[in-house]
A and B are shown apart, each in its own frame.
Chain A
Amino acid sequence: MIQLIDVYKSFGQQKVLNGLNLEIEEGKTTVIIGRSGGGKSVLLKHIIGLLRPDRGQVLIDGVDITKLNDRDLNEIRKKFGMLFQEAALFDSMNVLDNVAFPLREHTVMAEKEIRQIVTDRLNAVGLKGVEYKMPSDLSGGMRKRVGLARAIALRPQIVLFDEPTTGLDPVMTEAINHLIMDTQKNFNLTCVVISHDLQSIFKIGHKIAMLYNGNIIECGTPEEITASTNPIMIQFLTGSIEGPIQVVED
């Protein structure tokens, strides 16, 4: 289980997380929604220890990762996989080497075994015969699939998705949504997805959490969120210009 307790984070004068509390259940998909530039990526980076909070705790299975040194943090990170917004594949390596990277770094498997796992993971994300292609030769959707294959290479317990459907066409968006749902189920993953793509979040999320002004203002099942009477929530879901969320901030 992932718990964020009273987390504060500022960059200069700008307060991004303001006493945030959030619990993420095991084996479920939690979607974090919120405005563009509202701190969703910052929140995600706190969960995996890429950023440390100014104050507060981030507990992964009961361990406060904000207090850990590099070596212990690396051990915790082996429980994680992450799919970056632009996939962040290593552009100097082909698909095979990209997916095999975590296996080669953290296991002592034979090369044959590694290749078998790479092929399995690529099949799991719907790719065949792309092992020797370079990332620059792949389309955006394929890159994300390879990124997901790399994220699940070591069979992590938790996978983080940073805006997985941003910049994709509707058909590819749907395909990636199904991929996230299938992968979550097949590998029994705890998934944390940040997104502001409303159609996607209700499909993939078991739980939805709304981040606003550095706090989680609503957290619940898709049904609970749709039924919410919070004016901020209603405005966000209807995409209205009128309401408490200001289009141009002061």
Chain B
Amino acid sequence: MEQKPSEIGSSVTTQNPHLLEVRGLTRYFTVGSLLRPRHVHAVEDVSFAVRRGQVVALVGESGSGKSTTIRLVARLIEATRGEILFEGVDVIQDEPRQASREYRRKVQMIFQDPFASLNAVHTIEHHIERPLIIHKKAEIRAERLDQIHILLGTVGLNPPEEIARRYPHQLSGGQRQRVAIARALAVDPELILADEPISMLDVSIRMGVLNLIAQLKEERGLAFLYVTHDLASARYIGDEIIVMYAGRMVEGGTSEEVMQEAAHPYTRLLISAVPDPHAGLRTRKETGLRGEVPSLIDPPPGCPFVARCPNVTAKCHEAMPGVSQISPTHWARCYLY
């Protein structure tokens, strides 16, 4: 009997309890007319876990469902099916209508577009002060200001007093992203959800922000769920990598396992497509794997990768493969294993 996705968590981890566990998370969007509704299967049966102080990278291209997944975990949108367990408690059952203040304190988020995630009409100080006020982190204003300045210093924005007084449009993209991180840190969270935080930054500035994330993980034991399309950065800061395709998860494991011994054909395709100067100038071969991501609207049963897979068999069209363990920490959803 193939392993059900919801069982991965228990076999991957050791004694550490999971900080976040997602089981069978599914999200459909309804499109089309009222009489003949169709559904976009944006996220289908996604399960994974994040331990304390761990960085899990969700990797996928556009349409893979990674952004929708992180928004589901952030409870910005509602799941169609599935469970989100935070510190062992099913939050969807516990707080069905709205996320609790507790959850909002322990789970924070930073966004992709540094220009859009800060409100142009408020100062930096205001942005960071609000979470402090909401979560009652400091009662007196002077205390709050102190906190704000410390936070700005932590993320490398100096001099903090001056930066705090500014407005978003007076900061560069990299600085804004650091402000977003400071805001997330203000409430002392356990888990930070990062939705492609560096993809809209200048190349030379990206490493600074990534290193900051790595530093926060080391020094504060913060867990991160890092969503990206860039395998290289996923490898750089991720302890674990999970690969998504067309709304489903297809492979997962430690970052070294997934990168060096990629199992799923899609992962291999992805790795081969990344320009890698370290590999030297390769001779170009026809990969013959042309094709696009299939439509997510009412998809047929079976693995979504069938149209492009070099190893496709008849079984692949019938049903989505279950999880096969390649090693205690490495799994893939593919009939090859």
A-B complex is real: no
> Which chain B residues have a beta carbon within 8 Å of chain A's beta carbons?
none
